Amino acid sequence: MTIPFLLTWVSLTLATFLSWWLDASQEGRWVGAAVLLVAFFKARLVLMVFMGVRWAAPVLRRSCEAWVIAACVTVQLTYWYAPFG
């Protein structure tokens, strides 16, 4: 296993523990938003490193970065403006 893959795996594992800790120890609507941000950070890591987009053509990399940002913003807006119940 090469160093970038190992560092990415460790980062994904730590991010998973962070999500779990936030959900288990905190309260409030912001916790869900924070967990969603961690999830999109993890999705970006998987896209860039494990799927090889980091080393792909610049147009593909920019498209994937834009997709992650657009999806994150859309989900966050839906989360914040949907009725909380």
Listing DSSP states for 31-53 in one string gives: HHHHHHHHHHHHHHHIIIIIS-G
- Confidence tier at 9 by pLDDT (50, 70, 90): very high
What pLDDT shows up at residue 2?
A: 86
pLDDT tens per residue across span 53-66: 999 999 999 999 99
DSSP state of 2: -
- Give the global pTM: 0.86
Euclidean distance between the first and the last CA atom of the chain, given in angstroms as a whole number:
45
Amino acid at 29: R
Residue 33 near residue 80, CB atoms below 8 Å: yes
- Confidence tier at 82 by pLDDT (50, 70, 90): confident
CA atoms within 13 A on the CB side of 13: 6
